[in-house]
């Protein structure tokens, strides 16, 4: 019995390892979040595009809004995690703060489900480590921009660009990109169209942060990678 269990675990490990490596070049066929949205009646609008078919503005906007140290860390922003933990300990009655990097969000969106819990967070740490090990930074950002929920039943920046602005992701202006990025924390609640007060205010802030990050050579290297 134990031999069968060990073999089964080994085969499962090898299978998921092959899948992780394959996703360096192949887009995820579907994610749990996409499937659950479709089953719940929210629909499923997505259109995966290559990295070069996304404007530099949307790449920069997401980095500015979600993970400004994306070019520097190895998947985890330890300083932000420590600050979030300290805040949550001091303010147990307030909304909990997170410190997920783009790498962590990509791992969660591609391999796992939404929600919290120590078990899911533990898996998130593992998959984050694996994609940082096997994927280059631009591939992590590319996959994130293709699978992230950008509206009710809308996934990825290409579908978002078409849905909100009737254009391709490659044609997004800095303002349009900032609005899509501003909605990412909760795209069902913070709407791009009609423009919610939260998205309007946060996108203005993101535009300023985008200008501050434009001169960072490491970020520019990721944004313009081929």
Q: What is the pLDDT of residue 8?
A: 82
Q: Is residue 16 part of a domain?
A: no
Q: Is residue 199 part of a domain?
A: yes
Q: Is residue 22 part of a domain?
A: no
What does the pLDDT look like over 42-101, one tens digit per residue?
888 999 999 999 999 999 999 999 999 999 999 988 787 677 666 566 666 566 555 689
Q: Could you give the number of structural domains in the chain? A: 1
What does the pLDDT look like over 140-197, one tens digit per residue?
999 999 999 999 999 999 999 999 999 999 999 999 999 999 999 999 999 999 999 9
Q: How many other CB atoms are there within 10 angstroms of residue 17's CB atom?
A: 12
Identify the bridge partners of residue 151 per DSSP, sorted by sequence position: 154
Region of poorest pLDDT, from 32-46, 148-162, 204-218: 32-46
The runs of H, that is alpha helices, within 23-136 are 32-39, 56-66, 78-90, 102-111, 118-134
Which range marks the domain in which residue 74 is found? 30-37+45-223
Identify the residue with better confidence: 131 or 100. 131
Q: What is the pLDDT of residue 40?
A: 87
Q: How many helices (H) and strands (E) does the chain have?
A: 11, 3
Residue 21, both tokens: 């490596």
- Domain of 79, CATH number, reads 1.10.3810.10
């Amino acid at each position: 019995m134990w031999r069968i269990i060990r073999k089964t675990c080994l085969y499962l490990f090898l299978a998921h390892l092959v899948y992780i490596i394959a996703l360096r070049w192949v887009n995820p066929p579907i994610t749990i979040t996409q499937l659950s949205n479709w089953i719940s009646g929210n629909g499923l609008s997505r259109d995966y595009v290559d990295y070069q078919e996304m404007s530099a503005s949307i790449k920069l906007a997401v980095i500015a809004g979600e993970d400004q140290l994306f070019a520097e860390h190895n998947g985890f922003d330890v300083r932000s995690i420590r600050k979030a933990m300290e805040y949550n300990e001091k303010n147990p009655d307030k909304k909990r703060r997170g410190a997920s990097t783009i790498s962590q969000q990509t791992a969660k969106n591609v391999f796992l489900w939404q929600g919290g819990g120590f078990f899911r967070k533990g898996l998130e740490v593992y998959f984050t480590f694996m994609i940082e090990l096997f994927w280059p930074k631009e591939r992590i950002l590319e996959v994130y921009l293709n699978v992230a929920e950008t509206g009710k039943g809308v996934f990825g920046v290409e579908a978002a660009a078409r849905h909100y602005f009737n254009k391709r992701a490659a044609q997004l202006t800095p303002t349009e990109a900032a609005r899509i990025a501003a909605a990412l924390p909760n795209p069902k609640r913070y709407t791009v169209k009609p423009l919610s007060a939260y998205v309007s205010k946060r996108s203005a802030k993101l535009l300023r942060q985008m200008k501050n990050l434009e001169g960072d050579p490491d970020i520019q290297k990721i944004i313009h990678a081929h």
